Structure 1
């Protein structure tokens, strides 16, 4: 087995080394001769590194602002109606709770009033627990454990068990709502839950919403190497989610997030050179083609997919994703570069050159669907 692995590794290394001169030539062409509009891509001058995708429609912005204004004026009822309006669409319900959490970050007296007025409301109780998790992580910060001041870490460790307990109480208010279970799964890694402790939390979530996007993203984080799993466990988790996802769900994109975890450590190269990963990427692309265009997860997933197609040498599929993305480039992995727009544009240009793409007819021009579908 070791001999086979060694031979495979040597073969992959040879492929990478053989490809390097061609990529350098393509990069030179992309920097000096590439005209994006000739290939159905957004003009270079329109590239926007501030956003992953088009802004929220004017109608949705007005609705969100009205809910926020009412809440800050002490009226929690529009917020309650907004979440309830999602019905049993659990991903949408969670997305609406996310908006309320952002509103509560700027003042949460309205949430206290909501809890008092309707103590049996699972939405309000879930939001309260969710805010405890957000505040715990805000105190801890994103640094490594040894970089966190002891008093901050102590407060962090104190808040997370309280958040889990609050979520458990919220779960008693609605046997079918997965929201409290998403909170528990989110808090588990920071609360230092062992895999044995984590398992019933995950089972509770999966029983209620087996394809919950945010729940799976948080579960993937638990199983990554920096927390309580390994690269192998994380990828296996992501592949199971991908294989079980129904048509129209963005859940296959969890695989892209798992690969991105490796890429952030410069550890994705061997995987992306493999036939297995290339099949997975193509399957993700096919799955994302069935996702409603207004899905909020779609732009960020397309950025990752375009990047991984590009890195793996699948230039024609990468070009297809770049066309769908339009001018937006304010997302990972481009935002890790000093100049995200330049990095994005270079990848577009190399993809055009290496895919041997032909210029599109002038009347076709840059694709506009990626913009029109999301803007109001």
Structure 2
């Protein structure tokens, strides 16, 4: 019996080690729904005028009367307000691209109003820009949002066929308005799906930056191409973001690209330790320093505030995070929340951490 005792001890140790290891490996890498207790609106959050979970709009990132009004009119079948809004925006390329995207999303659902616009004004460059982006949206809807292994051959066939058609629409839009960068931005998303070679992407990028060197929407779109999940790598994406941010004047929002690139290349992007490194803190500080110079009507400003608040909560900089949450509350259709199964619950969870931590 004394000889068997060490063997029994080892056997018991192995049993418990294996059981604990099995439990650890069965645990999901990150949770996708927030605990119910933290989803309720606390008294402190209510006193600050923050909205409850069921009043968070998970589809939009901001309310913009000009852009929203044009899209809502299009959804009702009227093209004239869309055309008027495009004319009013003129060569404000950042807002023009945002309006093109909003109208194109509506046209991808129902394009009778856009067809009527094209018939009433043949050769209208504004309608052509919307048509080009709507065809890109239509292609991505045909593909669906699943990973490649969960996407059927029929979906891929339709996806590539419509993207090739989109290239024709993009070429026409460029011909009709050579100085407008928005059709080229649409081409970035066509290239994401068609797998444009790096050499072509560099040529396309030169066309965009010649027209609008600090165009945030274009930079964000190109960053997606250079991410590891598409046609680049973590190093390429971070290098692209660093070069864009370091060479930009104040008020362009381009420092936000560093945060996006960092978030996109984490195996477990919701673990706080990834955001408490000196590098991650410097990214947040650079974006904080840029925000005062950003125009208030910049269409991507709220999205930058969302990811900044996410970083700041993980860095336990709760008062600074709360300031961002108060400026974006109510519209949360943004990174990082849309990566969660229940975006509103997770957003409110992080917001509450900021509320309580800032007390």
Aligned residue-pair number: 322
Question: What are the equivalent positions in structure 2 for 1:95-174 lying under 5 Å apart?
Answer: 95-174=98-177
Checking the alignment, whether the CA contact within 8 Å between 2:56 and 2:344 is kept in structure 1 is yes
**Within-5 A mapping of 1:326-365:** 326=329, 331-334=334-337, 336-337=339-340, 340=343, 343-351=346-354, 357-358=358-359
Alpha-carbon spacing, 1:223–1:62, altered in 2? closer, same or farther (3 Å): closer
Compare 204-213 and 285-294 and name the one that shifted more. Answer: 285-294
| CA shift digits 1:157-182 (9 cap, x unpaired) | 22222212321232122221112211
Listed as ranges, the gaps of 5+ residues in structure 1 are: 1-26, 359-376
316-325 vs 232-241, which deviates more? 316-325
Hey, what does 1:240 align to over in structure 2? 243
The Cα offsets for residues 91-121 of structure 1, whole Å up to 9 and x where unpaired, read as 1111221232133234323433443554433
Seen in structure 2, the aligned counterparts of structure 1 residues 230 and 46 have a Cα distance that, compared at 3 Å, is: closer
Give the structure 1 partner of residue 55 of structure 2: 48
Cα deviation for residue 279 of structure 1 reads: 1.2
The answer to whether the 8 A contact 1:115-1:124 is kept is: yes
- 2:199 is the counterpart of 1:219: no
RMSD over aligned Cα atoms = 3.4
Find the counterpart in structure 1 of residue 232 from structure 2: 229
Conservation of the 8 A alpha-carbon contact between 1:49 and 1:335: no
Q: Which residue of the partner structure matches residue 192 of structure 1?
A: 195
Supply the distance in 2 between the matched residues of 1:61 and 1:167 (Cα, whole angstroms). 24
Name 1:182's counterpart in structure 2.
Answer: 185
Task: Compare CA radii of gyration and give the structure with the larger one.
Answer: 2
TM-score computed with the length of structure 2 as normaliser: 0.76
SS at match of 1:228: coil
Which residue does the alignment assign to 1:324? Answer: 327
Verify the 8 A CA contact 1:182 1:215 in the aligned structure 2.
yes
How far apart, in 1, do the equivalents of 2:171 and 2:332 lie? 39
| Change over 3 Å in CA distance of 1:236–1:296 after alignment to 2 | same
Instruction: Provide the C-alpha distance between the structure 1 equivalents of 2:100 and 2:341, rounded to a whole number of angstroms.
Output: 33
1:314 maps onto 2:321 in alignment? no
CA distance in 1, matches of 2:169, 2:67: 31
Match of 2:277 among 274, 286, 301: 274
Note if 1:83 corresponds to 2:90. Answer: no
Provide the C-alpha distance between the structure 2 equivalents of 1:347 and 1:208, rounded to a whole number of angstroms.
Answer: 39
Query: Which one scores higher on RCO, CA 8 angstroms, separation ≥ 6?
Result: 1
Tell me, yes or no, if the aligned pair for 2:318 and 2:354 is still in contact at 8 Å. yes
Distance between the aligned counterparts of 2:181 and 2:274, measured in 1? 33
Aligned-pair distance for 1:220? 0.6
- Calculate the TM-score normalised by the size of structure 1: 0.73
SS in 1 for 2:194: coil
Quick one: distance in 1 between partners of 2:349 and 2:94?
35
